[in-house]
Amino acid sequence: MALFTSSYLRNKYSASLITEQKRQFSAVDKSKLKFDIFLSHCYLDREEVLGLYRELTEMGFSVYVDWIVDADLDRTNVTKATAELIKNRMKNSKSLLLAVSTNAAMSKWMPWELGFVDGNTDRCAIIPVSTDNLSLNSFNRVEYLKLYPYLDRETDTSNVMKLWINEDSNEYIEFKDWINGSNPIKRN
């Protein structure tokens, strides 16, 4: 099992992808959009976030990132309407993944988003984004984040990358099954 690293995600970053995705979302009726993942993150880590967005969408998941899907939102003027839009996006997402990256602790929105989704569903997990190749055992998370499972990745025997939700080292489930309501199984 492996954590996502900052360097790996930055290598997936592409400014042209942002432009293309924003163009695609500007051409659709966004009021009916549903997502597999609401990706909660710190905008200061946008290159890693875009790498996560790209990785997850390439795996076939629909992902909500506010500055991609709702590019017209004004980050400098947050209103009640902004909060309502974000709440609706969270309600229309099967899961919330919290990207715990370098600047995540500075975000005021991430704890709010996590609390909102956790209060409405049990499909919240964290994605550790390490600055180096930390092992899962050395990944340290703040107290309240220990309440949530974490996501990692592993290549299977067919050389296909799969995502896994881990409650702890003895309980796991494939991510695609987890977002559809299945619960982790215990290892023997």
- For 35: left if phi > 0, alpha if psi spans -120 to 50, otherwise beta; the answer is beta
Q: Give the phi and the psi of residue 72 in degrees, each rounded to 5.
A: -80, -5
CA-to-CA distance for 52 and 9, rounded, in angstroms?
Answer: 6
Q: Which domains does the chain have, with CATH numbers?
A: 4-182 (3.40.50.10140)
Q: What is the DSSP string of 104-148?
A: GGG-SHHHHHHHHHHHH-S-EEEEEEESS---GGG----GGGGGS
CA-to-CA distance for 102 and 62, rounded, in angstroms?
Answer: 24
**Residues 73-111: tens digit of each pLDDT:** 888 898 999 999 999 999 999 999 999 988 998 999 999
pTM: 0.89
Q: What is the mean pLDDT of residues 45-58?
A: 92
Q: How far from chain centre, in Å, is Cα 11? A: 18
Tokens matching residue 18: 């942002």
Whether the per-residue pLDDT at 123 is higher than 70: the answer is: yes
Q: How far is CA 185 from CA 46, 115, 166, 181, in A?
A: 33, 25, 9, 13
Whether the per-residue pLDDT at 132 is higher than 70: the answer is: no
**Residues 10-48: tens digit of each pLDDT:** 887 776 777 777 777 776 777 789 999 999 999 999 999
CA-to-CA distance for 88 and 85, rounded, in angstroms?
Answer: 5
DSSP-derived 3-state class of residue 76:
coil
Whether the per-residue pLDDT at 1 is higher than 70: the answer is: no
Regarding predicted confidence, which is higher, 97 or 143?
A: 97
- Geometric angle at alpha carbon 58, from 56 and 62, rounded to 5°: 55
- For 60: left if phi > 0, alpha if psi spans -120 to 50, otherwise beta; the answer is left
DSSP-derived 3-state class of residue 62:
coil
